[in-house]
Structure formats: structure tokens, C-alpha cells
Amino acid sequence: MLENKTACVKINGRLEITRPVALAMLNHLSRDIASIGGSVEFKKDILSFNPVVVKAGIRITLPNGAVLQFESLGGAEEQDIKGEKRIYHDALGTAETRATKRLLEEVVGEDFINKLLMSGAISEAQTQKKPATDKQKAYLKKLIQAGKIKSVDVESLSFEEASHLIDKAKQN
């Protein structure tokens, strides 16, 4: 998920997984349960259209006969969706994805998807940070020539990475 830049989208400033990711996670869960001799039934119901509210449910039957059932709601409003042509279709997809995400988290018993998204958001933010300044680059090149730090591609460093290397060199 963290390697695939299309695995999540920003909706109203919040990162959310995309429908293909939610379905892939659900499929993976189903395969894992089937691999131990169990079964999984998944269903969705549309509860309302304005706002769109979807109820997702899952019934997991374990090999020993135990049955686990979980339900979760997901919603989306018109302002969550950009554009106008497919607003209800897209709002429905967003609500279904949110319901599926919450359902998966209930099954696992942890807010693991948001934790992954936050760590991914941090990684994404790091790749979009401002580049090292010319002054930092020149100083790092001098440190490399003096043998005080290992050779690195100075031109590709971010401002923070360059600052970290400079601070580390000053400590030694």
C-alpha cells in the first residue's frame, strides 16, 4: 500500500484507501480464512442516498464451527466528491469503501489501515519536501572530500536529509 501511490486518495484533506485496495484486503482475508478451512460471506446494503450510507457485513465461519459476525457503516456526502457527472455513483463507491475499511478494522480489532495511511503520509510528505540548499550541498561536498562523511548523492538530498548529515558530521 505504501509503495503504490494510487492506493490512497485525499478526500477533504484526509487520506483514504481506494476501492481496489479495500477489495484486495477483503479478498486476502477471505483467502486466508479459506486456507484454514473456514468461509467468509460479505454483504453490503445501501441504507440511504442523501447522504449515502452503506452498511457492510461479514460472516466468518471458522473450521471449528464458530461463527464471527461484524457490521460497519460508511457514509459519503456530496461535498466529499469532486465533479458533478457521477456524484451519486462516486459517493456510493466512497461510502462502500469506507464501510469495508471499517469492517476490516473491526475484524482485525485494530485501526491498522489508518496507521498504515499515516505512515504512508509521512513517507509521501518526505518525498515532496524542499530540496537541500546550495549552501548545504557545497558544505556536504567539502565534508565528503575531507572524509568526514560517506559519499552521497548530494544533489538528490532534501533539506532535512542534508541538515541531518551536517548535524551528524558536527557531532563527530
Average pLDDT of every residue of the chain: 82
The Cα 13–Cα 31 span in angstroms is 33
- For the cut 90, the answer to whether the pLDDT of residue 77 exceeds it is no
| Cα first-last separation, the chain | 38
- What pLDDT band is residue 83 in, cutting at 50, 70 and 90? low
User: How many other β-carbons are positioned within 10 Å of the β-carbon of residue 19?
Assistant: 15
- For the cut 80, the answer to whether the pLDDT of residue 51 exceeds it is yes
| pLDDT tens-digit map of 52-70 | 999 999 999 999 999 999 9
| pLDDT tens-digit map of 122-155 | 455 444 567 889 999 999 999 999 888 888 888 8
| pTM of the model as a whole | 0.59
pLDDT of residue 84: 52
Are β-strands 8-11 and 67-76 bridged in parallel, bridged antiparallel, or unpaired?
unpaired
Contact 51/77 with Cβ under 8 angstroms? yes
The Cα angle at residue 53 between residues 52 and 59, in degrees rounded to 5: 145
Structural domains of the chain, ranges and CATH numbers in brackets: 8-127 (3.30.390), 134-171 (no CATH)
